[in-house]
Chain A
Amino acid sequence: MSVALATARQPTYREAIREAILADPRVFPMGEDVGRYGGCHAVTKGLLAELGAERIRDTPLSESASVGTGIGAAMAGLRPIVEVMTCKFSELALDQILNNAATIPRMSGGRFAVPLLLRLATGAGRQLAAQHSHSLEGWFAHIAGLPILEPSTIEDARYLLSPALADPTLC
């Protein structure tokens, strides 16, 4: 058993994103450095070259703009995965997250869903220092209409992505 574990290939979040993009033409990652740079923590490394700029979308340095654009895309029928480099930067898009993404379904009487998957890297370590090491999931869990998934292992993250994209109750 221990031999089998030692030789098993480590799953990656990158393969989950790649699978999701290939499985559904509506799915695309979007955010700062997801394209040319290869993604924060390399989660989209190589995907721009393989899948092109239509599917792997770099955005300007503006979280309010990228999250807002993702919300609009989701409402219009796409399934964006918007990446915010560290969860700390989500504060810059809090109006979009709280007032739009979490609120529009209820406010529209169920006429609109916001099937947006927002990916935030969170936690301490990796030389990210004081202003990039927060864990804000506790805050976000207090926002009605904003389901939180908190994978604690790479395996959790890898195998949560596909069901998260498929589950409308996470909108």
Chain B
Amino acid sequence: MHIFDRATRFHGGHAIVGGGSPLSLAVAVTARRAVARIGDGGGLHLLECPSHRFRAHSMFDAQFYRTKEGVAACRERDPIARLKRWLERAGHLHGDDAVAIEADAAAEVEDAVGFAEAGTLEPVAELERFVTMDEVPS
């Protein structure tokens, strides 16, 4: 089920579906049109850009419900990879820009994993901490 389909039925046709890439021509055109309509007081618009997850749902998910070929085909349409290719072709990515961005992301994940693995088991004394709150954080 697509969210845009519901929005179309309930909100008078102002929902749009785009392909796998936020940079596809169709999405760019429809987004521009939506922005213009919003500017003219056209109300709520929804831009839905469905993509796929490329990995299993969890480490224990053998993905029997889809084929390897299907996943590979989805990967070909990976919006991030397509964005990267587009940026390179358009001359917006220079030298090691992409490598640096990917290294930053990998380092952030590694930090998070390191933090988790360095953690200690929760003391029993804190078993009930935050089950209810002593104060509402601002």
Contacts and interface: CB of A to CB of B under 8 A. Distances in A.
Asked whether A and B interact, the reply is yes
B131 interface: yes
A26 to B, nearest CB: 11
A171 B131 contact: no
B137 A145 contact: no
B94 to A, nearest CB: 38
B131 A113 contact: no
Nearest to A145: B131
A109 B126 CA distance: 11
Secondary structure at chain B's binding surface: helix, strand, loop or mixed?
Answer: loop
Contacts, number: 36
B22 to A, nearest CB: 25
A41 interface: no
Contacts of B136: 113, 115, 168, 171
Interface residues of A, number: 17
Contacts of A112: 137
Q: How large is the interface on B (under 10, 10 to 19, 20 to 34, 35 or more residues)?
A: 10 to 19
Contacts of A147: 132
Contacts of B130: 105-106, 108-110
A142 interface: no
A168 B135 CA distance: 5
A7 interface: no
A111 B132 contact: no
B133 A110 contact: yes
Interface of A: 77, 105-106, 108-113, 115, 144-145, 147, 168-171
Closest 8 pairs between A and B when the two form their complex, measured CB to CB: A171-B133, A110-B130, A113-B136, A113-B133, A106-B130, A145-B131, A168-B136, A168-B135
